[in-house]
Structure 1
């Protein structure tokens, strides 16, 4: 191995080990709660606002974020990050007080309480699990493999396997160790320490990237520097008023992976402080970190898509910094991976196993087993994402199949009383079918008959149509099939589920 590569690898391993050591030292001093589910999945309610802000920030950004957004190579894509600030405010002001009032461990517990039915809770938990296992976890492993392959100059094979697949296995193993043995406490603490690396070195990449083009964006086509997108851009400006609102509301306020971190505070006030810290970290730093590298890569290399971030890192970073940057990217994907893995275990244990199989038992052992199985499945799903044109487009478009119907279930539950849970469960299936037909089905028909079938709407517009359609369908079904009249009333108390 050349001396330069040895130094790069040594720095990478040293920083990765340092984060693990710091996390272990912090966790071993923590007191354990006597309530096992709260301790394992909500860190015993003992996370302070610094760790909550840190873990929310780093859970949201991973290699799929860096690669996907940079891969668009346009300024317009920054709206995903800008609009995320609105989602955080909605979580802090509207949803979080409700979760704390109901003392929820999972967001789906709120649905059980609102509808007085455990089956709606289990249905939504199962939907979340399918999304985590088939979309988020394998996509994170795939993009981490792409980045590491570029940064270390690896070939197509490593240890006799496809390099991307091999790196994905390594990420899954390390991420699972945090999630399985440490629970949310270890995940949140490691996220915060990793966040220092990611923000610092991600910002350094922006500086070196701008320096590489002399801080001059001339030569980049004007349409790629357009903030308010037209119909051909990744985010046309009208979508900011339709599906983007619902997308951010779902992700930040009803998504177990994010809200679980905010629920781990000792009280609502501490949780809100953590969310505001995450908001402060996002607004000035994250948009530049995910957009500027893609624009610079376009000027240097042309339209190279998802290869932009890795190639830029390999070409412009000083060699002495590349090992540290690799550690930061590894930290980013580990933090997001173990966060989703931990929240998936919480959904299974609290919403499915305890409700239908066995209410007691060794929560820690069960969670460890479930997390290990999910990690193994996610590794074998990595090949599904190999060859994807744009990983961000794949994730965001696929997300709508379950995110919009689930968001509709929360909206109906919070805005109306006397709604039969069976109507909402049927609505989730209806919404998934409607969204799939209006996106993938419509696209297929247009491809087959371009002259007679118009071009499909942007998937964000379809999200904007799906939510009100689902709400209307649920209320109509509730009235016509189950003979119950829905009563409007924001978040009024209902009897606890039996």
Structure 2
């Protein structure tokens, strides 16, 4: 009987989100057929939906399962530093993207370097990360959670395929508007249920953390911890700038508002959610699960939810968790299609394609690749640590292209393209070869970033005989940004 009720609640809430999304999108009127209509919702997102979509795009099972799977407080540092990253997005990058009327973040690079090739290069790197890292990781994390929570005999692949099919439907048929609206509706339910899990977890141990090793409760990581405290002074800030300010999946929402002020309101609202709610929901259940069950890794969140949540609410929780998987998956899928269509196809194959048809074809292709890669993530010891480590292959070389373009003038695009390739190879050597002096991968990210910028400037000077001009913080540039903000 309980199983039947759980299933009915699950299907009912999932259908309700779909219906509310359909109604809200219908109120907005017919959608156009251009790239901005599909990928920026025609510039019609309000700050509420920007905040909701940014929050739930980031907060999926790879966060809830992966961070709680570490079963230590230290992982909250990712979220606390994420607050800083969102502030930088709102105050620094949003005005720049609106100034250049960007559809993708990589369009900024094309404008700054006057080259479509640098845009295509970085867009391709974003695509590789989305297709080979983020999409399959989301499917795996969602499938593992459902399998653990309900203790079912169904394999990971059938559950992952279900998520892939349903999630891609939003991105393919509804575009960014449907994605953002469903994110927001689902996000309200997810945050409420996640906070309830925090309370139930604390209540299960009578709010008593005694017996839990000190290293699992501290926010000051030692040399052998997942986040040694000195990394907060090196690569951590750069990781946050990359993820929140240049990553197409996140910034696409901020670029879909009517103007700069509306976009900034949405980003700042997401920052408030990030600092006030998210740290607790991604660490406390995991720490409590260590006291209750011991070191059980990525199974921690699903098990504690299954054990502590009343049966009459488990169907509701399954629905919001499924929504989190679906919305994060369709967000990354939609941004991936935008990168391919705008950065590659329109630039090299057809400047005026049938966006609807092309979006459908590339989205389905990306989904099939992601499904095939799900088993590879099942072999990881820690999902979140694996994601952060792999992310370094692309994040710092990409960020270096933005930093060089914004801080310097008279830099050839070719030198930056070479520096991006150099940085990917360098970090790959650090990660899969020998890390110098045994440095943590977050330190290595900072080293990679600096090396990329220096490499680009050196190649620009030595090979192309150009002298870069430092322009960051100069009055004329600040005036340009101020004018762009006021005009929007």
Same fold, judged at TM 0.5 (above): yes
Query: Aligned residue for 1:395?
Result: 387
**Structure 2 residue 329 is matched with structure 1 residue 331:** no
- CA positional deviation for 1:29: 1.8
Query: Aligned residue for 2:35?
Result: 37
Query: Aligned residue for 1:450?
Result: none
* Partner secondary structure for residue 210 of structure 2: coil
Q: Tell me, yes or no, if the aligned pair for 2:400 and 2:452 is still in contact at 8 Å.
A: yes
Q: Tell me, yes or no, if the aligned pair for 1:438 and 1:456 is still in contact at 8 Å.
A: no
Where do 5+ consecutive residues of structure 2 fail to align? 481-488
Query: Aligned residue for 1:53?
Result: 51
> Which of 190, 193, 202 does residue 201 from structure 1 map onto?
193
Query: Aligned residue for 1:10?
Result: 8
Query: Aligned residue for 2:484?
Result: none
- CA positional deviation for 1:34: 4.8
- CA positional deviation for 1:455: 6.2
Q: Deviations over 1:163-190 (max 9, x none)?
A: 1111110000011000000000000000
Distance 2:426 2:221 in 1: 26
Distance 1:280 1:405 in 2: 29
> Which of 463, 467, 470 does residue 452 from structure 2 map onto?
470
* Partner secondary structure for residue 381 of structure 1: helix
Distance 2:353 2:380 in 1: 42
Distance 1:35 1:89 in 2: 33
Distance 1:32 1:404 in 2: 40
Distance 1:108 1:474 in 2: 18
Query: Aligned residue for 1:446?
Result: none
Query: Aligned residue for 1:484?
Result: 466
Distance 2:381 2:31 in 1: 46
- CA positional deviation for 1:35: 6.3
**Structure 2 residue 348 is matched with structure 1 residue 356:** yes
Query: Aligned residue for 2:160?
Result: 168
Q: Deviations over 1:77-126 (max 9, x none)?
A: 11000000000000011111000000000000000000000000000000
Distance 1:233 1:319 in 2: 36
> Which of 111, 115, 123 does residue 113 from structure 2 map onto?
115
- CA positional deviation for 1:205: 0.5
* Partner secondary structure for residue 118 of structure 2: helix
Distance 2:342 2:430 in 1: 34
Query: Aligned residue for 1:447?
Result: none
**Structure 2 residue 364 is matched with structure 1 residue 382:** no
Distance 1:351 1:123 in 2: 9
Distance 1:417 1:198 in 2: 45
- CA positional deviation for 1:396: 0.1
Distance 1:309 1:382 in 2: 20
Q: Deviations over 1:428-452 (max 9, x none)?
A: 1100111111122116xxxxxxxxx
Where do 5+ consecutive residues of structure 1 fail to align? 444-453, 494-498
What is the Cα-based RMSD across aligned positions, in Å? 1.1
The count of corresponding residues between Structure 1 and Structure 2 is: 475
Which stretch has the larger CA shift, 139-148 or 363-372?
Answer: 363-372
- CA positional deviation for 1:30: 1.1
Q: Tell me, yes or no, if the aligned pair for 1:16 and 1:327 is still in contact at 8 Å.
A: yes
TM-score (normalizing by structure 1): 0.94
Task: Give 1:228-247 correspondences, 5 Å limit.
Answer: 228-247=220-239
* Partner secondary structure for residue 434 of structure 2: helix
* Partner secondary structure for residue 159 of structure 2: helix
Q: Tell me, yes or no, if the aligned pair for 1:435 and 1:463 is still in contact at 8 Å.
A: yes
- CA positional deviation for 1:456: 2.1
Query: Aligned residue for 1:451?
Result: none
Q: Deviations over 1:290-315 (max 9, x none)?
A: 00011000000011111100111111
TM-score (normalizing by structure 2): 0.96
Q: Tell me, yes or no, if the aligned pair for 1:32 and 1:44 is still in contact at 8 Å.
A: no
Query: Aligned residue for 2:97?
Result: 99
Query: Aligned residue for 2:85?
Result: 87
Distance 1:488 1:429 in 2: 23
Q: Tell me, yes or no, if the aligned pair for 1:439 and 1:456 is still in contact at 8 Å.
A: no
Distance 2:274 2:397 in 1: 28
- CA positional deviation for 1:276: 1.1
Q: Tell me, yes or no, if the aligned pair for 2:56 and 2:327 is still in contact at 8 Å.
A: yes
